[in-house]
Amino acid sequence: MKVNTVLGSLDTKDMGYTLMHEHIMIANHTMRRMWADWINIDEFTAFAKRYIARGKRAGVRTIVDVTPFQLGRDVSVLQRVSEEAEINIIAATGYFWGNEICLVDKSPEFLAEILLRDLEKGMEGTPVKAGIIKCGTSQDHMSKLDETIWEATVIAHKETNAPIITHSACKAGAESQMKFLTERGVDPGRVIIGHIGDLDDPDFLASVADRGFYVGEDRIGVDKRHPEQLDTKERIKNIIELKHRGKLEQIVCAHDASIFIDYWEGKENLGCPWKMVREFDIEKLEFQFAFITERVLPELKAAGFSEFDIKTMLVDTPRRIFEGKAR
C-alpha cells in the first residue's frame, strides 16, 4: 500500500514511528505577503531541520502535518523541510472550522471540489497530493457553516477513502462530530477524533473506541506550554487505562506541536515573532517532537507496556489507518 507524502508516494511499511497530529509551520498567508520579515523561510528551514533532528534521534520517521490552508499550509515549505530534514511528511487538506467569511453560502459540493483537487490532483498548483482530510469544530455544537464544511468532508472522503482527522474542543463537540459522521454512513474506522485526549475521562475515551473511532491522544505534553491543559501524567494514566480496557489499537499519539506558530501566547516559541524563535536553543525546548519518546515512553514501560505495545501505537496503528485496514 502507498500513502501520499509531500515528496511523492511512500510504501506504508516504510512509515515507521509516526506522529499523527503535528504542524511544521503555522504562519498567516496575508501577513507573510505584507511583511517579508514575518518569517524568513531560509532561516526557518535550517531551524526546522535541527528541530526535526531531535525527533529523529527519538525514533520519529513520519510526521502527519495537519495544517489546513486556513492556518497557512505551504506545500513548498513542507517539501523543502521534508527533503532537507530527511523526514516523511504527510500533508492535509481540509477546513479548520466554520470561521471564514469567504466560505459562507458556498455549497458542500463546491467546497468538496477543493478537497478532491488536493487529494487527487495536487495542492496549491503542485502535483503534491494530500494524504488526509482535516476537519474541526470549535464549540459544543456545529454551526450551519460547520455542517456545510463537514458535508464537504464526507463527500471527499467517500470518493477517495482518505482518512479523516478532526479538531474537537470539548466532549459535546466530539459527540456532535461522531453523530454527524455516523448518520452519513462514514466508517468510524476511517476517523480519528482529535484532541479528546484533553479530557480526563477514560470512560468517554473508551466509549469513543467502542464506537469504532480512533482516540486522538494527540496533545501529549501541551501542558508544558499551557499549564491549564490536562497534565501529562494524567494523559499517561488514561492511555494505560485504555490499554487495560483492550483499546490500545485505537489510540494514536502526537503532540500537536508546531515548529513555528504565529499566534497564541504561551511558553517557548508559541506566538513569539520569528526573530525571537530563531534564537531558541532547540535542545532546551521541553515540548517538541521528541517529548513522547523522552518523557512518556519511559513511564509507559514502567507501567508494563511492552515494545510490542509501543510499536502498536506509534507504528502499526498509523500504518493501518493509511492502509484503510480494519483492526
Residue-wise pLDDT tens digits, 240-259: 999 999 999 999 999 999 99
Distance between CA atoms of residues 137 and 99, nearest Å: 10
* pLDDT > 70 in the chain, percent: 97
- pTM for the full predicted model: 0.96
Domain-wise residue ranges, the chain: 2-323
Cell numbers describing residue 211:
464506537
Q: Are 183 and 208 in contact (CB under 8 A)?
A: no
Q: What is the mean pLDDT of residues 221-229?
A: 88
Pick the CATH number of 2-323 from 1.10.3720.10, 3.30.230.10, 3.20.20.140, 3.40.640.10: 3.20.20.140
Instruction: Give strand pairing partners of 104.
Output: none
Is residue 123 predicted with pLDDT exceeding 80? yes
Of 33 and 275, the structure prediction assigns the larger pLDDT to 33
Is residue 231 predicted with pLDDT exceeding 80? yes
Q: Which amino acid is at 45?
A: T
Alpha helix locations (H) across the chain? Answer: 29-34, 41-57, 75-85, 108-120, 144-160, 171-183, 202-210, 232-244, 274-277, 291, 297-302, 307-311, 317-323
Distance between CA atoms of residues 144 and 146, nearest Å: 5
Q: What is the mean pLDDT of residues 97-102?
A: 76
Distance between CA atoms of residues 298 and 215, nearest Å: 21
Is residue 168 predicted with pLDDT exceeding 70? yes
Distance between CA atoms of residues 121 and 24, nearest Å: 22
Q: Which among 208, 205, 203, 159 is positioned nearest to 179, based on CA atoms?
A: 208
Q: Which among 321, 164, 295 is positioned nearest to 235, based on CA atoms?
A: 295
Q: What is the mean pLDDT of residues 210-228?
A: 94
